């Protein structure tokens, strides 16, 4: 990550007029409490009690990576010969005994001290939960003929998981015989960019609703967009005014640690690989499959709509497009389906430039959204790992990532009427 010099940083901080939810984040930067030789933001007291470490561990291939996931490492970055990510102190102590070579380690407090140096300066452009809700209400209000807005369920803390439906013929929870596409963002709290891309898609479709290429989707498809699947986690991540690198939801576990990894909580080979039974782990799979209200909401939503043909779950970051299986090494058994997955992946990545691959080629991890949706309903389900080199890539990334991912989403919509046309 780039370092921003003081000279560059301060004029921006004092001259800009800030508004929006992330303004507190920058207020923190305006008042550096710890003077030192280098610019040092306030000591990350908001991470007090957070026992995680940021580590880099040698890993040669997907088998090493899968084993590391099993050992509790939350892999964030994948290099040729190593991976980096977060791990709890307890699990870190066991890595060496398990034969892993830890190349570097630092406490999350030190990691934050180092990385908050290049804190994004324009994060007011990102939408917190209230702003996301307000924007969805506004879009629905401005487009009453084409849209409806409803909640697919409540979160652990009682927030609504909002879903915007684009379908002029059927509204709210009325069933539809039209082929449906389901887009989701923000399963993981700290992946705020995934909320933005989902919102950008909704706006693009509605701003261009009279253009023939968009109108044909509105007139023939049933489109659902739930930008913030884990609003509790997203809010928790920014609640102190500084980022906390929080991935999970906010269930309080038996050991008082916070959160279950929602993308390991689906009932597809639940917690058999690439997930941790240890509550403090960032990849904690939860006490049982579908133990969390957020994943149950998605499950019930999908099962109630047999017309869903395609699904996209946005995450960040790695510039990847992933498809089943995530939970096993072998490819999708049905050859026709496999062809469709590969063709859709190729088609979408032509717009994003991301790398298309079977999920488990990165590492084997069970219990994710896409494996479950494909196994349960035969839905052509994808995970997009958006681009960037950090969970907090700043405002400029919103437009950059949205522009190409909206095009990829339009490609997916273009195949949603009959994905099997790609296998013929
Ligand atoms: Zn994620």
What confidence score (pLDDT) does residue 282 get?
Answer: 96
Cα 386–Cα 388–Cα 391 angle in degrees, nearest 5: 85
| Helix, strand or coil, per DSSP, at residue 160 | strand
**101 and 132 assigned to the same domain:** no
**105 and 38 assigned to the same domain:** no
**Tokens 């990510």, residue located:** 85
**32 and 60 assigned to the same domain:** no
CATH code, domain with 178: 3.40.630.10
What confidence score (pLDDT) does residue 8 get?
Answer: 36
What confidence score (pLDDT) does residue 113 get?
Answer: 85
pLDDT tens per residue across span 296-343? 999 999 999 999 999 999 999 999 999 999 999 999 999 999 999 999
What's the 277 CA to ligand 1 centre distance in angstroms?
18
The answer to whether residue 400 scores a pLDDT higher than 60 is yes
What confidence score (pLDDT) does residue 172 get?
Answer: 96
What's the 300 CA to ligand 1 centre distance in angstroms?
21
What's the 184 CA to ligand 1 centre distance in angstroms?
11
Q: Which domain holds residue 27?
A: 6-42
* Pick from 26-40, 102-116, 188-202, 376-390: least confident: 26-40
Please give the order of strands across the beta sheet that includes 82-88. Answer: 74-78, 82-88, 52-58, 102-107
**73 and 38 assigned to the same domain:** no
- DSSP state string for 342-411: HHHHHHHHHHH-PEEEEGGGT----S-HHHHHHHHH--EEEEEEE--SSS---THHHHHHHHHHHHHHHH
Which residues, in sequence order, are CB contacts of 296 under 8 Å at separation 6+? 153, 290
What confidence score (pLDDT) does residue 46 get?
Answer: 84
**58 and 205 assigned to the same domain:** no
What confidence score (pLDDT) does residue 261 get?
Answer: 98
Tokens (6 digits) for 73: 């490492």
* Pick from 20-24, 125-129, 173-177: least confident: 20-24
Q: Say which of 235, 385, 387, 399 is annotated catalytic.
A: 385
What's the 227 CA to ligand 1 centre distance in angstroms?
13
The answer to whether residue 424 scores a pLDDT higher than 90 is no
Dmax over Cα atoms in the chain, in whole Å?
65
How confident is the model over 164-188, as a mean pLDDT? 98
Which of the four pLDDT bands, split at 50, 70 and 90, describes residue 220? very high
Q: Is 91 among the catalytic positions?
A: no
pLDDT tens per residue across span 25-65? 433 333 333 333 333 445 577 898 899 999 999 999 999 99
Tokens (6 digits) for 96: 């060496």
Which of the four pLDDT bands, split at 50, 70 and 90, describes residue 96? confident
User: What share of the chain has pLDDT > 70, as a percent?
Assistant: 88
**322 and 410 assigned to the same domain:** yes
The answer to whether residue 371 scores a pLDDT higher than 70 is yes
Is 1 contained in some domain? Answer: no
What confidence score (pLDDT) does residue 179 get?
Answer: 98
**182 and 82 assigned to the same domain:** no
CATH code, domain with 92: 3.30.70
The answer to whether residue 411 scores a pLDDT higher than 90 is yes
Tokens (6 digits) for 149: 């807005």
**306 and 416 assigned to the same domain:** yes
The answer to whether residue 4 scores a pLDDT higher than 90 is no
pLDDT tens per residue across span 122-142? 688 899 999 999 999 999 999
Q: In the predicted model, what is the mean pLDDT of the chain?
A: 90
**16 and 81 assigned to the same domain:** no
What's the 24 CA to ligand 1 centre distance in angstroms?
25
**114 and 128 assigned to the same domain:** no
As beta bridge partners, residue 55 has 85, 105
What confidence score (pLDDT) does residue 341 get?
Answer: 98
What's the 316 CA to ligand 1 centre distance in angstroms?
6
Is 220 contained in some domain? Answer: yes
Q: Is the dihedral of CA 70, 72, 75, 80 positive or negative?
A: negative
> Which of residues 7 and 41 earns the better pLDDT score?
41
Number of domains in the chain: 3
User: Rounded to two decimals, what is the model's pTM?
Assistant: 0.88
What confidence score (pLDDT) does residue 50 get?
Answer: 93
The answer to whether residue 177 scores a pLDDT higher than 80 is yes
Cα 211–Cα 395–Cα 39 angle in degrees, nearest 5: 175
* Spatial separation of the C-alpha atoms in residues 274 and 264, rounded to whole Å: 8
* Pick from 30-34, 117-121, 167-171: least confident: 30-34
What confidence score (pLDDT) does residue 117 get?
Answer: 52
What confidence score (pLDDT) does residue 122 get?
Answer: 61
Which residues, in sequence order, are CB contacts of 11 under 8 Å at separation 6+? none
Is 272 contained in some domain? Answer: yes
- For residue 111, CA distances in Å to 6, 37, 258 come to 20, 18, 20
The answer to whether residue 3 scores a pLDDT higher than 80 is no
């Amino acid at each position: 990550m780039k370092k921003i010099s003081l000279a560059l940083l301060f004029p921006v901080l004092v001259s800009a007029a800030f508004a929006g939810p992330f303004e507190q984040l920058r207020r923190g930067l305006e008042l550096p409490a710890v003077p030192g030789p280098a610019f040092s933001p306030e000591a990350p007291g908001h991470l007090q009690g957070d026992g995680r470490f940021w580590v880099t561990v040698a890993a040669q291939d997907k088998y090493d990576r899968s084993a590391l996931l099993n050992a509790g490492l939350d892999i964030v970055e994948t290099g040729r010969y190593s991976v980096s990510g977060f791990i709890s102190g307890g699990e870190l102590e066991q890595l060496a005994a398990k034969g892993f070579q830890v190349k570097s380690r630092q406490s999350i407090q030190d990691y934050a001290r180092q990385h908050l140096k290049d804190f994004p300066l324009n994060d007011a452009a990102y939408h917190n939960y209230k702003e996301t809700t307000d924007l969805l209400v506004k879009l629905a209000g401005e487009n009453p003929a084409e849209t409806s807005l409803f909640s697919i369920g409540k979160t652990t803390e009682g927030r609504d998981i909002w879903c915007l439906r684009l379908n002029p013929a059927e509204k709210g929870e009325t069933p539809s015989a039209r082929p449906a596409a389901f887009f989701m963002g923000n399963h993981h709290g700290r992946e705020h960019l995934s909320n933005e891309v989902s919102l950008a898609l909704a706006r693009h479709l509605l701003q261009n609703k009279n253009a023939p290429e968009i109108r044909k989707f509105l007139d023939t498809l049933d489109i659902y967009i739930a930008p913030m699947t884990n609003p509790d986690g997203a809010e928790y991540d920014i609640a102190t005014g500084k980022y906390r690198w929080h991935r999970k939801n906010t269930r309080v576990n038996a050991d008082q640690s916070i959160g279950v990894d929602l993308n390991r909580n689906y009932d597809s080979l639940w917690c058999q690989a690439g997930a941790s039974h240890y509550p403090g782990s960032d990849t904690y799979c939860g006490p049982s499959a579908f133990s969390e209200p957020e994943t149950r909401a998605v499950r019930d939503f999908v099962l109630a709509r047999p017309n869903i043909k395609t699904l996209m779950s946005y995450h960040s970051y790695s510039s990847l497009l992933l498809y089943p299986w995530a939970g096993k090494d072998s490819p999708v058994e049905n050859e026709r389906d496999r062809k469709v997955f590969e063709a859709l992946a190729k088609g979408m990545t032509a717009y994003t430039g991301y790398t298309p691959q079977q999920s488990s080629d990165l590492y084997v991890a069970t219990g994710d959204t896409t494996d479950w949706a494909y196994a349960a309903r035969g839905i052509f389900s994808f995970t997009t790992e958006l681009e960037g080199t950090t969970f907090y890539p700043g405002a400029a990334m919103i437009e950059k990532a949205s522009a190409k991912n909206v095009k990829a989403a339009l490609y997916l919509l273009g195949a949603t009427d009959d994905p099997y046309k790609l296998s013929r």
